[in-house]
Amino acid sequence: MSTLVEAHIRPQAGKGAARKLRVQNLIPAVVYGKHLKEALHISVDPVAVRKAIQTPRKLNTVLTLSLNNGETHLVLLKDTQRHPLSDKLLHVDFLSVREEESVKVNIPIVLTGRPQGVIDGGVLSQQRRNLEVWALPASIPEQIEVDVSHLKMAQVLHVNDIAMPEGVVHKSNINFTVATISTPETESAAAAATPTETKTETKAAAKDAKKK
């Protein structure tokens, strides 16, 4: 299921045209994607867009843009420009998607259960709170729940240890650290080591992205 948002073809671009739209309580928007010969310049109601993504999936909510020329486009909201003071939407970018093709999205990771290591006096630390995955638009999950009740003292949970929901695939050569159980004595040392580990993982992720 997708949420319907009405949109209009925008014949003009530029700051002047954008100001005219905002007088009408509309904002400029762009639809792009590999399925389109060229980007579509449209206008949308910012209030309608905000309401449309007020679902458990938030920015991963699949939307159907209904254009005034009769076209419809299945999209995800990918980027926004907001007023620095009022936080009002000023411009939005939509990514065109198709029901039968997987799309790359970031999904929140939620840890569940009380780890055995915590019961024994350890401290649970979550190093990674979002995960980049591929999924069909209809299969995009609200979140990825991971039961950590089995983790013992000094154990580490990696991305490769997580069972992905049906229809969801994680594509990376990097086995990222998601959570750790540390002893109280080593908690401060682990915290100090985290920036270095994160920096190393970031470099590795960049190298992995170039390979793709």
**144-174: b or e for each residue (b if 16 or more CB lie within 10 Å)?**
bebebeebebebebebeebebbeebeeebeb
Query: Is 115's pLDDT higher than 90?
Result: yes
Query: Is 49's pLDDT higher than 60?
Result: yes
The tokens of 126 are what? Answer: 């979550």
Q: Provide the pLDDT for residue 12.
A: 63
Label residue 35 by pLDDT band (50, 70, 90): confident
Q: What is the mean pLDDT of residues 178-197?
A: 68
- Separation of alpha carbons 33 and 39, rounded Å: 7
- Separation of alpha carbons 44 and 104, rounded Å: 24
Residue 105 makes CB contacts below 8 A (sequence gap 6+) with 60, 76, 132, 133, 134, 135, 140
Name residue 134's beta-bridge partners.
104, 169
In the predicted model, what is the mean pLDDT of the chain? 87
Q: What is the mean pLDDT of residues 140-167?
A: 95
- Separation of alpha carbons 14 and 30, rounded Å: 13
Q: Which of the two residues, 199 and 55, has the higher pLDDT score?
A: 55
- Separation of alpha carbons 187 and 162, rounded Å: 24
Q: Provide the pLDDT for residue 24.
A: 87
- Separation of alpha carbons 20 and 154, rounded Å: 60
In this prediction the pTM is 0.78
Q: Provide the pLDDT for residue 28.
A: 93
Query: Is 196's pLDDT higher than 60?
Result: no
- Residue positions counted in the chain: 212
Query: Residue 207: helix, strand or coil by DSSP?
Result: helix
Q: Provide the pLDDT for residue 14.
A: 62
Q: What is the mean pLDDT of residues 88-101?
A: 94
In the block, which residue shows the tokens 């995955």?
133
Q: Provide the pLDDT for residue 98.
A: 95
Angle at 31 between CA 42 and CA 171, to 5 degrees: 165
